[in-house]
Amino acid sequence: MKGKIGVTTENIFPIIKKFLYSDQEIFLRELISNAIDATEKLKVLARKGEYKGDVGNKKIYVKVDKKNKQIIVSDFGIGMTEEEVNQYINQIAFSSAEEFLSKYKDEVNLIGHFGLGFYSAFIVANKVELITKSYKEGAKAVKWICEGTPEFEIKEAERSEHGTDVILHITDETYKEFLEEDKIEELLNKYCKFLPIPIVFGKKKEFKDGKLVETDEDYIINNTNPLWLQKPQNLKDEDYKKFYKELYPREFEEPMFHIHLNIDYPFNLTGILYFPKITSPFDIQKRKIQLYCKQVFVTDNIEGIVPDYLTLLHGVIDSPDIPLNVSRSYLQNDPEVKKISSHITKKVADKLNDIYKDNRADFEKKWEDLKLFIQYGMISDEKFYDRAIAFALFKNTENKYFTLEEYKKLIESNQKDKYKNIVVLYTTDTEKQYTYIQRAKNKGYDVLVLDGHLDIAFINHLETKEKNLIFKRVDSDILEKLIEKDDTQKTQFSEIEQENFRYAVFAILPDKEKFLVSFEPVADSEMPALITQSEYIRRMKDMSQFSPSHIYRNVSDLFNFVVNTNHDLIKKINSELHETLKKQLEPLQQKIDSLKKELEELRKKYDENKTVIEEKDKELESIINEKKKIITDYAQQNDLLSQIIDIALLSHNLLKHERFENFLKRSIKLLEKN
């Protein structure tokens, strides 16, 4: 019999090919899915007593016949009668293929995620033959042939057992890669690895006398009873590790632990999620979670289905309830998907909490590997934050771990400032910031180590979530100001002394535009001068690394140069400077003072005195310059001051190259003087 398929489009096959360009390979998944369905239906019939044969060992066979340019998928399922071929293949399948295309042609990238069904065979084949025999008593085998036009042919055929063979004729050069066994094996491994009926792809091969030869044993592609469908109580840790290897044969590292998901209400979902070791953002591999729909691989791009930070996990999720036939933007807002996503979040948080509670020591050991994941989750997901704040850990410089609550208790009494903030001191580099850490410790303060990739973003987030909690890096200010108490002292240096000393410091400092010089009576410090860097600016700069357009990205480093006016050496330099330069500076200072006074008066009537003001301003400027020059000349001869400045630079890792060389030479010179 010949016939015409009842469709409106003259020829949908070219359209199928065009739209599925990037997902050509799904044809195999679709045909095998049909074969699985046909075999499973047999089981249902057997249960009802409508099928008497043996259903236990039905297999599906996939063959590639390169010579005859064919791919053949055979099953021993329910098969079809001629009437059914007409109904299911000619009418239903065809019209659903047409409907499918009209609906989804704008979502080309998505098509591979859900089925086009039987007609996807025409993506790669020019001609498709279907030989089928129904399980029904007395049914005759029929052959259906279609050459990629709406015309088809049905004739009688021979088939000893019930079931269906689908034969794809691939004569188009474009698709010849699908006639390679390796390619088909790759696709079977991708899409069919965990299907419930054994899929046979030729015979097992083994090495004999140095040659690869076929054995008599069927080569079965799939694991029909994947671990995620088994009962967790029957499984051991080893089983999960083995399954991880099965999922990722090329992965070296073992996962840290797993979460077995098993949900049947309010939606259906099973799966196993693994925590990989992720210590740096370079280790992050997304697309490591595979999404299955009833054991059929759908995609490894689960963006939109679970929160972003969960995509750092590995494993499988299997659910018939995740709507696959819609766009991603829709998925993100779909209430069902939201439920799934928040449920997975909860499960993950619960599991982490269990490990933390059951074995704190073990959790601490794993912390460095978990940290990136947990912090990322806490920053990006409120709900996860609320759960994880109970077990997120902080490590101090003594390698002790604390939760936020524990840590607050530890430092509360000692590190509360006069504004009632708890100030957390931290270091990002225990070696480079060593002297600052020691100073803080000597004062009885505790210091956290925050050297992780997300630490700075994480503390930014914590400060917005936790009241009266501020983080300051140990070198961001002098100790007295890091944690301001009521009894902060003021410097004894007069305004003029400060001004002159500032000129002296600037005469020696390199990169002057990077420094602000201030005068503080630093109590109990052995350092005559030190360098700090504002927490705010530094942190903004750190954060700007994450966003290329950040306004702080191009801001250069800015440091505070703090002169410790409590220190004997500073006092000595100050008094010597003023003593030595007294004769030169005093008359200049008098002139400066009186000029300033005069200008103040003149400015009261600015418009009248404009020209005089301009003249006096110039005069003042030149006297100040004169003073500056005298101090600069003096300072540049002062080895002691140079040495003090260099030591401050050195302890902040800012003493480099030639300056460092000069510092060494000067040190020797100073030693020789003794």
Nearer to ligand ADP, 100 or 445 (CB): 100
Instruction: State the minimum distance, in angstroms, from the CB of residue 14 to ligand ADP.
Output: 19
Of 19 and 519, which CB lies nearer to ligand ADP in the complex structure?
A: 19
Instruction: Give the span between the Cα atoms of 636 and 630, in whole angstroms.
Output: 10
Least Å distance, CB 100 to ligand ADP, is: 9
For ligand ADP, give the closer residue by CB, 117 or 226: 117
CB of 89 to ligand ADP, least distance (A): 6
Quick one: CA dihedral 628, 633, 638, 644, positive or negative?
A: positive
The Cα 7–Cα 545 span in angstroms is: 57
Residue type (1 letter), 207: F
* Residue least distant from ligand ADP (Cβ): 117
Write the CB contacts of 646 (distance below 8 Å, at least 6 apart in sequence): 655, 659, 662, 663, 666
β-strands 289-293, 269-275: how paired? Answer: unpaired
Q: Which own/partner pairs from 322-326 qualify as long-range (CB within 8 Å, at least 24 positions apart)? A: 322/269, 322/291, 322/293, 324/113, 324/114, 324/293, 324/298, 325/104, 325/113, 325/114
Distance, CA of 94 to CA of 100 (rounded, Å): 10
Which of 127/616 has CB closer to ligand ADP?
Answer: 127
Partners of 563 in the β-ladder: 519, 529
Nearest to ligand ADP of 131, 374 (CB atom): 131
Task: Select 91 or 584, whichever has its Cβ closest to ligand ADP.
Answer: 91
Q: Which is nearer to ligand ADP, 80 or 457 (CB)?
A: 80
Nearer to ligand ADP, 192 or 573 (CB): 192
Taking the complex as a whole, how short is the minimal distance between the CB of residue 451 and ligand ADP, in angstroms? 54
Shortest gap between Cβ of 196 and ligand ADP (angstroms)?
A: 15
Between 196 and 510, CB nearer to ligand ADP: 196
What minimum distance in Å lies between the beta carbon of 281 and ligand ADP?
A: 42
Furthest-apart CA pair in the chain: how many Å? 127
Residues 319 and 29: their CA atoms lie apart, in Å, by: 17
Going across the sheet that includes 257-263, the strands are: 257-263, 269-275, 314-318, 289-293, 296-299
Closest CA to 626 of 589, 599, 664, 673: 589
Structure tokens at 233: 């109580």
To ligand ADP, the closest distance from the beta carbon of 324 in angstroms equals 13
Distance CA 363, CA 370 (A): 9
| CB-based contact 285:360 (threshold 8 Å) | no
CB of 30 to ligand ADP, least distance (A): 6
CA distance 447 to 530: 19
Which value, to the nearest 10 degrees, does the dihedral of the CA atoms of residues 531, 534, 537, 539 take? Answer: 100
Secondary structure class of 572 (helix, strand, coil): helix
For ligand ADP, give the closer residue by CB, 91 or 491: 91
Answer for the pair 222, 209: CB distance below 8 angstroms, yes or no. no
Strands 314-318 and 289-293: parallel
The encoded tokens of residue 264 equal 């049947």
Do the Cβ atoms of 98 and 7 come closer than 8 Å?
yes
Q: What is the dihedral of CA 114, 119, 122, 125, to 10 degrees?
A: 110
* Cβ closest to ligand ADP, residue 75 vs residue 98: 75
Closer to ligand ADP by Cβ: residue 88 or 104: 88
**Measured from the CB of residue 228, what is the shortest distance to ligand ADP in angstroms?**
24
* Phi, psi values for residue 609, rounded to 5°: -100, 15
Cβ nearer to ligand ADP, comparing 141 with 352: 141
Q: How far is the CB of 161 from ligand ADP (least distance, A)?
A: 13
CB of 39 to ligand ADP, least distance (A): 8
Nearest distance, CB of residue 116 and ligand ADP, angstroms: 8
Q: List interacting residues with ligand ADP (CB under 6 A).
A: 34-35, 38, 75, 77-80, 88-89, 92-93, 115, 117-118, 164
Select 120 or 319, whichever has its Cβ closest to ligand ADP.
120
Nearest approach, Cβ of residue 542 and ligand ADP (Å): 53
Q: Which two tokens stand for residue 42?
A: 């047999």
State in angstroms the smallest separation of the CB of 96 from ligand ADP: 6
Nearest CA among 583, 604, 620, 652 for reference residue 433: 652
Backbone angles phi, psi at 133, to 5 degrees: -140, 130
